[in-house]
Each structure stands twice: as structure tokens, then as C-alpha cells.
Chains A and B, each alone.
Chain A
Amino acid sequence: MNKVKLAKALRIFAPILLLGILLQVNPLYASESSDPGNNGSGEEEYNAGHMILDHIVDHYSWHIMTIDGHEVAIDLPVILYHNNQWNVFMSSRFDHGHSSYKGFKIAQEGPNAGKIVHITHENDETKLERPIDLSITKNVAALFVVAIITLLIFLSVARSYKKKTYQAPKGLQSFLEPLILFIRDEVAIASIGKEKYHKFMPYLLTLFFFIFLMNLLGLVPIPPIGGANLTGNLAVTGVMALFTLIITLASSNKNYWRHTFNTPGIPVLLKLPIPIIPVIELVGILTKPFVLMVRLFANITAGHIVLLSFVSIIFIFTNNIDPIAGWAVSPVSLLFGVFISLLELLVAFIQAYVFVLLSALYIGMAMEEEH
């Protein structure tokens, strides 16, 4: 990729990241301290683990900042199906987890902590049931945002391609064309082969750019453009891995299944009477997408945790030692934060690339002809 363009992108991204870090964490610290859940003493301890986890998991509303104890958040709709009945209302009804509505509340503890449960009273016993929850949560809303941004970018790029087919690319088009060609030449053609790659290009390109944009926007901590940890969520990565699995299985040929169930060049005793190799191969078919799912999730989540940890150091020092110590450590902490952010930019690309490359490899393996 063009070095100059990368540098330009970094120059644009770095201040946004810095600003975002300052915007996000400071109010959160305030919100933690004013959280009525652990009320009691006015000066309760800052819990970095809570804060970090709170940042990387899903929520029913999109928190922006807290001013004087009042949470400023984007209100999102809650969609529930319980007892053969649809319930649709705004998440503000829960008053940020403090009250219940229509018998639903956000569980504060237990196995469903942070999720909506239905309260049923039966023989003086309170039962908490999980409804079918199709709410537009923070992550769903962020998914919509990323999808719309992706659509805007590529529909406009497609328009400029249609308009000037025989001319050199310009603007956004010239920034994206090397990536498109990279996916086509180095990923699709290299893994699937020149004859069959064509069919899979839409999937691979969508996958790559969607993951790449989710990774990048996950680094932008300004709602509602970024601020959600999408690729650091198993549901998101799992669905993409599932798509890869389905496409792999749908495009598999006879040779692939022969290799799975009756691997050539392997002693018969390993296949009969106890089918060791076929079982291993079958499990392998499932572990491949599972690993895809976990790799992306773990990489992005780890990056977010490290970044937030560096920022947390300031508040830990302030709370546990002295405000002056907090001030003293903040330049170091911010410097490392920016460093990790830049590293995460690289990771954002690499993980998107790896996910697509492995998907293409699996598809290519399923279509391999006998040789």
C-alpha cells in the first residue's frame, strides 16, 4: 500500500483517537463513582476491571458521556419475545438498569448479568427468565452504522468505476483499488485458483472490508460512528465464521469428502474399525471456523483491553496514591495509549487480512481437484 497515504491516514486518525480516549474515559470514571449500584460511601474505589469490561461488552443503550451524574446516551429500542408476545419499547424505560418495565429488567448479577430478564413471581419465588431478545443493542446499532458506511463507500466507488471504466482511479477509488486488487490477486487467486475465484470475490471482499471497517471504527471512540467493540464480540466474528463454513461446505466437491472420510495414503487400521482419522477430519472442519471466530475476537478484544488498561493507570494512580501521581503518570500512559492505538491500526488490517485469507484457503481446499 501507498506509504504516503498510510501516513496521511495516521495523521488523521491519531488526534481523533487521542480526543476519543480523553472523552470516553474521564466521564466513565465519573459514572463509576456516581453509580448508585455501589453507592454508600461517596469515595468508592475505581475498578479498572469493571470499567474495561464495561467498555468491551454490549449494552442496551449507547452511552456517550456522563455529566454531573446524568448519563448522556443514545436511546435504543428493546425488542423482546416472551410468552408468545412481542414487546417493543425504548431502553430508557429501564432508567439505565435501575428500574423494571412490563416485568422486564436488566439483571445486575447472576449468569445473565447485564441482560434483560423477565421477572415471574411463582409461589413467593422470584424466577428470572431470559426472553428471546432481539433488541437493537449498542453493537447492533454499531453494526448498522458500519454497514451503512460500508455501503456508502463502496456504492460510491462502484459508481466511479462505472463512470470511468478506462481511466485511472481517483480519490477514494485509488485508495481502495490496491486493497481490492490485493484481495483478488494475493488472496482469492492465490488460494482458490484462477478458474474458480470469481464466484467468491463478492464474499471475500465484503468480508475483508466489513471486518477492516469494524476494526477501524472500533478504534474510534466517538459514538455513534465508533465506540463499539464489534469484532471483539463472539457473535459478530462467529456469524462471519459461520458464513465461511457454509460457503466452504456448499462449494466442497467429492474429492474433499473422500479426503475427509477415506483419506488416501493412511493405513486402513486408522479408518476401520475405529474411524480415528475421519473423526479428526470431521472435527477439523468445525475447528477451522471456530478458530477463525476466536482469533479475531481475541485479537481485537486484547487490543482494547490493553489500550483501556493504559488509560486506567492514570485513575488507579490518582485513586490509590495521589492525584499528583495520576498527573505524573498520565503522559506515559497517553503515550503508550497512542502507541497501542497505532499498533491496533496495524492489527485491524492484519486480522481482516488473516480472516479473509484463511476463509479463501478453506474454500480453496474444499474445491481442490484430485492430483
Chain B
Amino acid sequence: MELVNPGIGLIFWMIVIFGLLLLVLGKYAWKPIMKSLHEREQSIDKALKSADKAREEMKNLQADNEKLRQEAREERDKILKQARDKQNEIIEQAREEANQERQKILDSAKKEISNEKQAAARELRETVADISLKVAEKIIRQELEDEKKQQKLVEKYFDEVDFR
């Protein structure tokens, strides 16, 4: 039965064909295919690793950024605080100076007023004395027109004077 009794020719040709196929495919197909599969896998591996690394670096960078921003914020707060302090100090100083100035002005005004008042009072006194003298002169002149009256007055004055 031919089914289980294969010919020597087919065996011979099969060895030749399969052997040649093995050699040719091994050299020109499987070698480059396996090599490029390997290389591709390695490159994918490498790419994944470098992506991981980049992610790590990104994280570090972000942390750095955050730190920098925090520092900047603190710096800003410090500067603002300093500025506010300075401002307060300046305002305080200005107020003090203004106070002093006002006090000075006030003092000098008071002094002026009191000077003026004294002067006015002196003038008033002089004027009053003058007027009083003139009034008194007129009164005296009127009084002394009558002899009797003059006499009486002298007497009175004499009464008033204490001769002791």
C-alpha cells in the first residue's frame, strides 16, 4: 500500500528542499526578523524606561518649581510686611512732625496773641488814663469855679491827710 510505503525519491527531495529552506530562511529571513524583533523590543523597553525617567524628572522639576514659588511667596510677604512697616513708620513720623509743627505754630500764635493783648492793654490803659485825666481836669475845673467848693475840697483833702 503506497500510503505507508513512501518512495525514496520523495524522502531525498524532502531532505534537499527542507534543508535548503532551513538554510536560506535561517540566514535571510529568521536572522533579520529575530534581530529586528529583539531590537524593537529593546527600543520599546528603553523608551518606556526613559519615559519613566522623564516622568520622575518632571516630578522633581515640579517639586522644585513649587519650592521656588513658595520661596518667592515668602519673599514677597516679607517685602510687603517691610513696606507696610516702613509706611506706618513714615506716617507715624509725619504725624509727629506735623504735631510738633502745629504745636510750634500754636505756641508762637499764643505768644503773639499775648503780646498783642499786652500791647492793647497798655494802650488802653494809657488811653483810659489820658481820658480820665482830661475828664478829671474838666471836672476839677468845673468844681473849682465856685470858691466855696474849692475850700471845702481843700478841707476835705486835708482831712484825709494824716499828719502824724
* Residue of B10, B21, B30, B39 ringed by the most chain A CB atoms within 10 A: B10
The binding surface of chain B is classed by DSSP as: helix
- Whether A151 and B21, one on each chain, are in contact in the complex, defined by CB atoms closer than 8 angstroms, is yes
Flag the segment in A135-143, A267-275, A312-320 that touches B: A135-143
Flag the segment in B1-9, B90-98, B118-126, B137-145 that touches A: B1-9
Residues of chain A with a CB closer than 8 A to B36's CB = 161-162, 165
Residues of chain B with a CB closer than 8 A to A135's CB = 9
- Whether A144 and B17, one on each chain, are in contact in the complex, defined by CB atoms closer than 8 angstroms, is yes
The binding surface of chain A is classed by DSSP as: helix
A304 vs chain B, min Cβ distance (A): 11
- Tell me whether B128 is interfacial, beta carbon within 8 Å: no
Complex-state Cα separation, A53 to B63, whole angstroms: 79
- Tell me whether A133 is interfacial, beta carbon within 8 Å: yes
B92 vs chain A, min Cβ distance (A): 73
- Tell me whether A89 is interfacial, beta carbon within 8 Å: no
- Whether A157 and B18, one on each chain, are in contact in the complex, defined by CB atoms closer than 8 angstroms, is no
- Whether B25 and A133, one on each chain, are in contact in the complex, defined by CB atoms closer than 8 angstroms, is no
- Tell me whether A248 is interfacial, beta carbon within 8 Å: no
Flag the segment in A35-43, A230-238, A255-263, A357-365 that touches B: A230-238
- Tell me whether B158 is interfacial, beta carbon within 8 Å: no
Chain A: CB-nearest residue to B14: A239
- Tell me whether A58 is interfacial, beta carbon within 8 Å: yes
- Tell me whether A48 is interfacial, beta carbon within 8 Å: no
Which A residues from 12 to 66 make CB contacts under 8 A with B?
53, 56-58
- Whether B10 and A150, one on each chain, are in contact in the complex, defined by CB atoms closer than 8 angstroms, is no
B91 vs chain A, min Cβ distance (A): 71
Number of A-B contacts (CB under 8 A): 123
- Whether B10 and A155, one on each chain, are in contact in the complex, defined by CB atoms closer than 8 angstroms, is no
- Whether B22 and A203, one on each chain, are in contact in the complex, defined by CB atoms closer than 8 angstroms, is yes
- Whether B29 and A147, one on each chain, are in contact in the complex, defined by CB atoms closer than 8 angstroms, is no
Contact for B26 among A177, A206, A240, CB less than 8 A: A206
Residues of chain B with a CB closer than 8 A to A96's CB = none
Q: A166-B43, A240-B18 are in contact. Are A157 and B3 (CB under 8 A)?
A: no
Residues of chain B with a CB closer than 8 A to A114's CB = 2
B3 vs chain A, min Cβ distance (A): 6
- Tell me whether B157 is interfacial, beta carbon within 8 Å: no
- Whether A243 and B3, one on each chain, are in contact in the complex, defined by CB atoms closer than 8 angstroms, is no
Complex-state Cα separation, A158 to B43, whole angstroms: 19
Complex-state Cα separation, A177 to B41, whole angstroms: 13
Chain B: CB-nearest residue to A80: B9
Residues of chain B with a CB closer than 8 A to A134's CB = 8-9, 12-13
- Tell me whether B105 is interfacial, beta carbon within 8 Å: no
Chain B: CB-nearest residue to A180: B33
* Residue of A53, A147, A158, A201 ringed by the most chain B CB atoms within 10 A: A158
- Tell me whether B161 is interfacial, beta carbon within 8 Å: no
- Tell me whether A205 is interfacial, beta carbon within 8 Å: yes
Residues of chain A with a CB closer than 8 A to B136's CB = none
Residues of chain A with a CB closer than 8 A to B24's CB = 151
Residues of chain B with a CB closer than 8 A to A184's CB = 34, 37
Q: A162-B36, A165-B39 are in contact. Are A157 and B29 (CB under 8 A)?
A: yes
- Tell me whether B31 is interfacial, beta carbon within 8 Å: yes
- Whether B3 and A56, one on each chain, are in contact in the complex, defined by CB atoms closer than 8 angstroms, is yes
Contact for B30 among A56, A139, A202, CB less than 8 A: A202
Contact for B7 among A133, A162, A202, CB less than 8 A: A133
A64 vs chain B, min Cβ distance (A): 20
Q: A143-B17, A144-B17 are in contact. Are A165 and B4 (CB under 8 A)?
A: no
Residues of chain B with a CB closer than 8 A to A295's CB = none
Complex-state Cα separation, A270 to B147, whole angstroms: 194
Residues of chain B with a CB closer than 8 A to A113's CB = 2
- Whether A158 and B3, one on each chain, are in contact in the complex, defined by CB atoms closer than 8 angstroms, is no
Complex-state Cα separation, A201 to B32, whole angstroms: 12
Residues of chain B with a CB closer than 8 A to A139's CB = 10
B63 vs chain A, min Cβ distance (A): 33
Chain A: CB-nearest residue to B39: A165
A363 vs chain B, min Cβ distance (A): 15
Contacts A/B (CB < 8 Å), 25 sampled:
A57-B2, A114-B2, A115-B2, A132-B8, A133-B9, A143-B17, A147-B17, A150-B25, A154-B25, A166-B40, A181-B37, A198-B34, A202-B26, A203-B22, A205-B25, A206-B18, A206-B21, A206-B26, A233-B6, A235-B6, A235-B10, A235-B11, A238-B6, A239-B11, A239-B14
A133-B7, A157-B33 given; name 7 further pairs at CB < 8 Å: A133-B8, A161-B37, A165-B39, A181-B37, A206-B26, A236-B10, A238-B11
B residues with a Cβ closer than 8 A to A are 2-4, 6-15, 17-18, 20-22, 24-26, 28-34, 36-37, 39-40, 43
